[in-house]
Amino acid sequence: MNKLRALSIAAIAISVISFSNSTIAAETYQRGKIINITSGKSGLLIKLDSGVPNNCADSPYGWIKVLQEHTAMTSVVLMMWSTDKKDVTVYTDPAGDGGYCVANQIDPM
C-alpha cells in the first residue's frame, strides 16, 4: 500500500511540474523563450519558441514587433537577450494590414 501511495504522489508531482513548464497561449499573450531577435527601421522583432498568440496568427513568419518608440520594452528585450534570460510572456495587439503583431507588454519570467 505504501508503494502505491508513493507512486501516486510521484505521478501527481510529475504532472504538476510538467504542466508548470508547458507553453501557455491565449488570445492576446504568449509565454515562451525568446529564440531570435532582429531590428528594422520601425523597431525590434522577436520570435518565441512557442509561436505567437492567437491574435497574431497572421503575423509574418511568427515575428512580434516591439515598436521603436517603446524604448522601455526594447531595453528589456535587449537586456534579456544579452544576459541569456529569455523566458518571457509577451502581450500583444493584433497586426493591421497584414503586418506584424505588436507587443504592448513584455513580462520577463
| Rounded Cα gap, residues 2 and 5, in angstroms | 5
Q: What digits encode the pLDDT tens for the residues 27-73?
A: 899 999 999 999 989 999 999 999 999 999 889 999 999 999 999 99
User: What's the confidence (pLDDT) of residue 24?
Assistant: 52
- The angle subtended at Cα 15 by Cα 12 and Cα 21, nearest 5°, is 145
Q: Which of 17-26, 35-44, 78-87, 96-105 has the lowest mean pLDDT?
A: 17-26
Domains of the chain: 24-108 (2.40.50.50)
| Reported pTM | 0.75
**Residue 72 amino acid letter:** A
| Rounded Cα gap, residues 48 and 59, in angstroms | 13
